[in-house]
Amino acid sequence: MGFLPSPAQRAVWAAGDEFRAGDVSAAAAALDPWVTRSAQAAREDLALRFLSQDYGGVQALAFSVPAAAQDDESRLWVARSDAALCLWRDCLVRLASLEHPGRPWALCLRAEALGGLSDPSAPEAYAAALSATAGTRLEAMCSVLAAEDAVARGDDALAEALYKRAESADPAYTQVDMRLAELYLCQGRWQDARLRLERAHRVDPGAAEPVQDLDALLQDQPWQRVAQASDQDGRLSRFALRPNPRVEPLVPLENEPVVRIGLLSRADAFTLRMGGAMVDEAGDLTLPAGSAWIACAGPGGTWTLAPLDPNPAPARVLASPMRLQPQDPGSTFGLFGVEHGTGYFFAGSGDRYYRGLLEIDDSPEGLLVVNELDLEAYLCSVVPSEVPADWSPAALRAQAVVARTYAWGTLGRYGSKGYDLCPTVNCAVYSGAGVEDARTTAAVTSTAGVVLEDGKRGLASAHFMDNSGGHTLAAGDVWPGPDPDSVAVFDGPDNAGATRKLFPLSPAGLLHYIDDLDGDVQGWSADEGRSLWRWTLILSPDELASGVDRRSPVGMPCTVLGLERSDGGYLKRVRVVGASGDYTVSGDSIRSALKGLKSDLFYVEARFDAQGRTVALLFHGGGWGHGVGLSQSGAQAMAKAGLDEQAILRHYFPDDSARRRYTR
């Protein structure tokens, strides 16, 4: 039985006929399409093996890749495979073959290779790499690698400076807290160590090491416990004496919804301050302007409200909710030391102030504190909490419309707990009246009552995130259940045709899209915020373990493998492989399972030691957020390009229309 000739054979035969006829140009033309197709296929295979972390396969295939595929991008994939396998000398040889060895990535990789070989020229190589990567997404990673090299060489002062440079370049490098804490503990800098350990615990409350190290420090250095208490007392004293900010009252509108925000839901105790007098709706209690109080959970469903000294008012024991209305609608109430962003790299603690009604009640999990106010007043805080107040007016108005639609459509989300929405990124960031700004308030009031509607079910499915990375997602790719109202869009201008043609992303297209070596990948979100459009995060298995262990006991993580992607490159499913098992995580849970990554648009590059053990995982990604709906960075870029809020909304929500449901 015979075989049909392959396309390659046909091309060779045709080229031979032309060559024998003496037409060399025609012979080359006959071969070119096949050579090009073959080169493209080999390049895609090379990229696929790299993405699959088959680094030995990358090396083997590299010898057979046609010359047409041997550009700097593919050569770097091979050099990075050498680095993954701890073949530092081979890596240096391949880097020397690059047409542009001065690229930031090549210089960073060269420094890493020299460091891996303990070459005395490594510090000089890192200095050159840091100069080249300054202001790029590689700066933070390069700084951490250089810091580790400095630690290995015993230069703690340089290591400290480099770790701080990493967190300055990209605040997501929260592992710097523990690494600096270790340096400070060795140097006897107890207060610096304590502050870093406290922050590490706030960012990753599930990690055991920060708590253990902090407890040990406080036990060995009792004066640090005194200093800790003194810091707290000083902040509390300033809170009790500092005047609350005032707000511009807003007149409630007809048909305007009321929103209940659960500020605290599991508090054992909290401290509050009245900016103006607040009266209990039951009419039997008034908390005077300027007074400060401590609320504490008690036994049997009771709770206690007691004044801070020198307030002479008596303490009260209550067994029912207290609903306090401000007598002056321009006044605010304050909460002391509110933890915010817990579990994320932007975690912090600070005093917060709120307009509207204050409700306090006891619950089985602790004290419940609810802020009740009208939707437009709520948005006056949400908009500046979500985006900078100095952004273009059109971007602020677009944000106001989408935030209004989302809030209205999700009222009652936490109804079983006694409130509508939370004040965190799980709903929308609500920082209170202290962040209100005249510019964002103008964006809210000028769009009062305007929402997005889908024409079928009423309120549209309107989500928003910080930065799309270049392409948005449909909601059904992130959260369970169908959502026909949500669609994915290419998030770039009309003249970004070359980038648009990358979709749906092939393996080589994905690497080109995320790596963006030459800065030629275009998108509306590209120019807003360093380390948002593209980022790289390097983590050790230990640093990754705390997030993984909370979901499945797989042992020490070895790697993370992408299983399924959207057309825009976002991962839908990943497999976390550990020393004692593996498990699969899907959708928006991917980010939180993997140390709070900025988005699910990423791929993973490994580093192994000479024994084949994982020593680090490099997460190369783009964007910040779940990827669905309006990209805040993109909206700002569109506004700066002269587009109004209607054009912005049509871009991100092409199937929806804006409608005013009530007016001021």
Residue 358 pairs in a beta bridge with 324, 371
The rounded mean pLDDT for the chain is 90
Inter-residue contact 35 to 8 (CB < 8 Å):
no
The pLDDT value given to residue 68: 54
Inter-residue contact 614 to 559 (CB < 8 Å):
yes
The pLDDT value given to residue 8: 46
Burial of 426 (0-12, 13-18, 19+ CB in 10 A): exposed
The pLDDT value given to residue 549: 67
| Total-model pTM | 0.91
Could you tell me which of 437, 379, 108 has the C-alpha nearest to residue 247? 437
CA distance 310 to 294: 13
DSSP 526: G
- CATH code matching the domain that covers 42-59+67-222, chosen among 3.90.1150.10, 1.25.40.10, 1.10.3720.10, 3.30.565.10: 1.25.40.10
Q: Are strands 464-465 and 630-631 parallel, antiparallel or unpaired?
A: parallel
Burial of 536 (0-12, 13-18, 19+ CB in 10 A): buried
Inter-residue contact 449 to 663 (CB < 8 Å):
yes
Number of H helices, E strands in the chain: 22, 22
Q: How many other CB atoms are there within 10 angstroms of residue 385's CB atom?
A: 22
* Residue 469 exposure: Cα atoms within 13 Å on the Cβ side: 29
Residue 69: pLDDT over 70: no
Percent of the chain exceeding pLDDT 70 equals: 92
Q: Spell out the long-range contacts of 492-497 with Cβ–Cβ below 8 A and sequence spacing 24 or more.
A: 492/522, 492/523, 492/524, 493/522, 493/524, 493/641, 495/522, 496/522, 496/523
CA distance 51 to 45: 10
CA distance 415 to 413: 6
Residues shown for the chain: 664
C-alpha distance from residue 36 to each of 8, 68, 76, 255, 401 (Å): 11, 7, 20, 64, 49
Backbone angles phi, psi at 142, to 5 degrees: -65, -35
Q: What is the pLDDT of residues 567-605, one digit of tens each?
A: 999 999 999 999 888 989 999 889 988 887 999 999 999
What's the mean pLDDT in 617-623? 97
Kind and range of the H or E run holding 619: strand 614-622
**17: confidence class by pLDDT, cuts 50, 70, 90:** low
Kind and range of the H or E run holding 602: strand 602-608
Backbone angles phi, psi at 409, to 5 degrees: -75, -15
CA distance 462 to 307: 43
Gap between the terminal Cα atoms of the chain: 83
And the tokens for 138? 């590689």
What's the mean pLDDT in 465-488? 89
Q: What is the pLDDT of residues 136-150, one digit of tens each?
A: 999 999 999 999 999
The pLDDT value given to residue 104: 95
CA distance 262 to 370: 5
Q: What is the pLDDT of residues 282-341, one digit of tens each?
A: 877 899 999 999 999 988 788 999 998 766 667 888 878 899 999 999 999 999 999 998
**Which residues have a Cβ under 8 Å from the Cβ of 446 and sit 6 or more positions away?**
397
> Which residues in 66-78 are b (16+ Cβ under 10 Å) and which e?
eeebbebbbbbbb
Cα torsion angle, 324, 330, 331, 334, sign: positive
Q: What is the pLDDT of residues 403-438, one digit of tens each?
A: 999 999 999 999 999 999 999 999 999 999 999 999
Could you tell me which of 223, 217, 221, 187 has the C-alpha nearest to residue 201? 217
**Which residues have a Cβ under 8 Å from the Cβ of 302 and sit 6 or more positions away?**
317, 318, 319, 362
CA distance 327 to 95: 71
Average the pLDDT over each of 391-400, 458-467, 482-491 and give the range with the smallest value. 482-491
What angle do helix axes 222-241 and 208-220 make, rounded to 10 degrees? Answer: 100
* Residue 544 exposure: Cα atoms within 13 Å on the Cβ side: 30
The pLDDT value given to residue 287: 93
Inter-residue contact 631 to 652 (CB < 8 Å):
yes
**25: confidence class by pLDDT, cuts 50, 70, 90:** low
Domain ranges of the chain: 42-59+67-222, 258-453, 463-628
Q: How many other CB atoms are there within 10 angstroms of residue 614's CB atom?
A: 19
What's the mean pLDDT in 541-562? 83
Q: How many other CB atoms are there within 10 angstroms of residue 559's CB atom?
A: 18
SS3 349: strand
SS3 144: helix
DSSP character string of 275-305: SS-EEETTSS-EE-TT-EEEEEE-GGG-EEE
Inter-residue contact 237 to 266 (CB < 8 Å):
no
Burial of 397 (0-12, 13-18, 19+ CB in 10 A): buried
